[in-house]
Amino acid sequence: SQQGEEDPQALSIQEGENATMNCSYKTSINNLQWYRQNSGRGLVHLILIRSNEREKHSGRLRVTLDTSKKSSSLLITASRAADTASYFCATDDGNNRLAFGKGNQVVVIP
């Protein structure tokens, strides 16, 4: 069963704005990962945050994790048209089997 579930809303923003996506899950995790997928393509790993971490940064990406609320957020700052993609969170329960959420479609308008 899927553990990671993003809010199902698609997001459309202007270039330069920030994009925030949320993810909730239901069971215990070892880590949570965010991936990006361009239409019809494979997944690109963006960032991994461990269960004992609360925040992590990578370039224009900022991920938070609240294990008490079983939720995570992905923030993309200063968005670019090239950021247009679907973004998925995935939880790893420690057995390295990833449970993916539904994905969030982000459209950045130039």
Distance separating alpha carbons of residues 87 and 92, to the nearest angstrom: 17
Each residue 17-56 as x (binds other proteins by CB under 8 A) or -, in order, gives: -------------xx-x-x----xxxxxx--x--------
- DSSP codes of every residue in 27-78: S--SEEEEEEE-TTS-EEEEEEEETT-SEEEETTEEEEEETTTTEEEEEE-S
57: contact with other proteins by CB under 8 A: no
Q: Which stretch binds other proteins (CB under 8 A): 16-24, 66-74, 77-85, 101-109?
A: 101-109
Q: Closer to other proteins at the Cβ: 50 or 57?
A: 50
Q: Write down the least CB distance from residue 16 to other proteins, Å.
A: 27
